[in-house]
Amino acid sequence: MFKNFILTTFAFLMLLLVVPAPADAQSAPPPSDFFQLKKRNRTVKNYFKGSYIRFWFDNGQWVEGTIVKIARDSLWLNEQRIQLVPQGFGTVIDTVTYGAYKLHYKDIYAIPREKEGFSYIKDGTLVQIGSAGYILLNIINGLGKDSPPLFGSENGPKLAIATGVFLLGTLWHYLHRSELRIGKKYSIEYIHSN
């Protein structure tokens, strides 16, 4: 048994040595142009021919599809939408294709933010939940027989602070964007490769 394993492994390694490798890099296909999404000077994502891209067009419309071609500062996009389509006994995920058209990369206004773990911490949701829980617990405890008045001098400031923290979390949630806007912080660069 062990002898067969060694012979099989040896035969496989000899086969790898016999199979010719490409002679040089010229046999590989030439590289194509591509776009880079950058945050200041750091590359966040690259978009090549065949990549799926979703972005906010400068006219306010969200566009998504597959990049068919990239050349001379432009991209040809085969617009597609992946969506649920109703059928007789439920729904099915289907891809609807609308056709291809040419866009200039400067017409991209924003790109959606990638899904992040623990995003509820970054967008203020956790602050809202915590302060709302404190307010609710404080009100429930204040309804007891031996408790001080709900909005009295002892309990009123605590409820006011908790309400202020809730409003701060709401403002934080409102200001947190779900997209990366192209401008000062984020940019898209066209990379021409020869």
| pTM score of the predicted model | 0.61
How much is the pLDDT for 162? 92
How much is the pLDDT for 21? 53
Q: Which helix (H) or strand (E) holds 166?
A: helix 156-175
Q: Which residues span the domain enclosing 140?
A: 119-175
DSSP string, 126-148: HHHHHHHHHHHHHHHHHTSTTSP
Strand partners, 104: 74
How much is the pLDDT for 2? 61
How much is the pLDDT for 28? 47
Split into its structural domains, the chain has a count of: 2
What's the pLDDT band for 163 if we cut at 50, 70, 90? Answer: very high
Q: Are residues 98 and 187 in the same domain?
A: yes
Residue 24, judged by CB atoms within 10 A of its CB (0-12, 13-18, 19+), counts as exposed
Question: Angle, to 10 degrees, between the axis of helix 156-175 and the axis of helix 125-142?
Answer: 160
Q: Are residues 106 and 184 in the same domain?
A: yes
Q: Are residues 57 and 150 in the same domain?
A: no
Q: Determine the average pLDDT of the residues in 166-172.
A: 91
